[in-house]
């Protein structure tokens, strides 16, 4: 049966651990110049309704490195934008390509593609979720700390797509997550409820609060993202005012554990949600996380699109 990555819901910790182990192997093979062409002849289609540097380029590069190729499908030139239905598009594309990554606004578009396509559908970011990012954030922690379960992560800022994927990822993997947002910018309550439901299995603690200083006390990781996500440019001024005090700077970092790591999905707005001093400082794992998008997504692509047995043989 085909698998999709529409969100992290439905993934379990064993599957994610396996994804991490394959990722580590692919990364090592690449560094040693002996990487396998595990997706020879496969084609990944990509639809991006929003801008991207990391996601798009790492998927494209990853496909080439694995011996396959990718097709960037310009939405403005697809019949979809002239009214062809998502279901008909899904059906037709399924007969040409082997997988489809989509970055869009509504999560429902990704879910609809997934229902109608017979090929794997990958969520490359929606207003609600960014699963590839959080798989990568957790892999980066796994690589640096040797485990993820039991770590304490403090997410500071907007309760957006990245925060919401963190809620699910932490709940699955047994990470204690505290999300500190200003009032009115909390993650959706339905996502918090799902995360808390999943957390009953892993034992993860999921907390929401408003005080960033309290949130980072005892934290092993501080995470943030832009205050103004794609599609929210009209709210820039209001948001900038609301998020003052939710910046990761060296003062806030002082309140976390001594060797706490700082992470950010990028793109960053230096001086807004994070200072340059912290981004470029010794505790920053931001650049490793950015690089790891490539390795994690390659592992994901092999899992979802590889011929039978290839992924389990790795
Ligand atoms: N972090 C991330 O998804 O970056 P892009 O928007 O550049 O893809
Ligand atoms: N929350 C940000 C993430 C960008 C990768 C956005 O949606 O714009």
Q: What does the pLDDT look like over 44-59, one tens digit per residue?
A: 999 999 999 999 999 9
Does this model's pTM top 0.85? yes
Residue 149 sits in the same domain as residue 283: yes
- Closest ligand 2 atom, residue 125 Cα: 7
193 is known as an active-site residue:
no
Residue 143 sits in the same domain as residue 282: yes
Residue 214 sits in the same domain as residue 248: yes
Taking 90 as the threshold, does the pLDDT of residue 92 lie above it?
yes
Residue 199 sits in the same domain as residue 297: no
Q: Quick: pLDDT tens for 194-227.
A: 999 999 999 999 999 999 999 999 999 999 999 9
Would the CB of 54 count as within 6 Å of ligand 1? yes
Q: Answer yes or no: is 60 within a domain.
A: yes
Residue 234 sits in the same domain as residue 263: yes
Q: Answer yes or no: is 110 within a domain.
A: yes
For residue 61, what pLDDT is reported? 98
Residue 138 sits in the same domain as residue 249: yes
Residue 308 alpha carbon to ligand 1 centre in Å: 30
Residue 60 sits in the same domain as residue 101: yes
Residue 163 sits in the same domain as residue 258: yes
Q: Which of 133, 158, 220, 239 is catalytic?
A: 133
Residue 140 sits in the same domain as residue 210: yes
Q: Quick: pLDDT tens for 250-275.
A: 999 999 999 999 999 999 999 999 99
Total domains in the chain come to: 2
Residue 92 sits in the same domain as residue 142: no
Q: Write out the residue range of the structural domain in which residue 108 sits.
A: 13-129+293-313
132 is known as an active-site residue:
no
Residue 180 sits in the same domain as residue 203: yes
> Which CATH number does the domain housing residue 257 bear?
3.40.50.1370
Residue 233 sits in the same domain as residue 305: no
Q: Answer yes or no: is 6 within a domain.
A: no
Q: Answer yes or no: is 3 within a domain.
A: no
CA 294 to chain centre: 12
């Amino acid at each position: 049966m085909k698998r999709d990555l529409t969100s992290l819901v439905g993934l379990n910790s064993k599957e994610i651990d396996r994804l991490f182990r394959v990722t580590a192997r692919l990364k090592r093979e690449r560094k040693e110049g002996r990487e396998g062409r595990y997706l020879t002849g496969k084609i990944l289609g990509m639809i991006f309704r929003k801008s991207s540097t990391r996601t798009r380029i790492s998927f494209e590069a990853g496909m080439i490195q694995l011996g396959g190729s990718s097709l960037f499908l310009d939405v403005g030139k697809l019949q979809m934008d002239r009214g062809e239905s998502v279901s008909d598009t899904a059906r037709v594309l399924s007969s040409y390509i082997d997988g489809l990554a989509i970055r869009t606004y509504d999560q429902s578009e990704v879910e609809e593609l997934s229902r109608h396509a017979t090929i794997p559908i990958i969520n490359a970011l929606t207003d609600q979720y960014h699963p590839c990012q959080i798989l990568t954030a957790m892999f980066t922690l796994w690589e640096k700390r040797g485990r993820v379960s039991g770590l304490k992560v403090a997410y500071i800022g907007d309760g957006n797509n990245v925060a919401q994927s963190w809620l699910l990822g932490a709940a699955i993997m047994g990470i204690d997550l505290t999300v500190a947002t200003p009032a009115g910018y909390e993650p959706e309550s339905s996502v918090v409820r799902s995360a808390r439901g999943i957390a009953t299995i892993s034992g993860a603690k999921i907390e929401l609060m408003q005080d960033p200083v309290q949130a980072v006390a005892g934290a092993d990781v501080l995470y943030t993202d832009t205050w103004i996500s794609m599609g929210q440019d009209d709210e820039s001024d209001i948001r900038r005012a609301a998020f003052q005090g939710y910046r990761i700077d060296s003062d806030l970092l002082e309140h976390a554990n001594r060797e706490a790591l700082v992470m950010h999905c990028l793109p960053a707005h230096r001086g807004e949600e994070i200072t340059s001093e912290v981004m470029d400082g010794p505790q920053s794992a931001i650049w490793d996380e950015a690089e790891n998008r490539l390795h994690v997504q390659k592992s994901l692509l092999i899992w979802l699109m590889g011929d039978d047995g290839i992924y389990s043989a790795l």
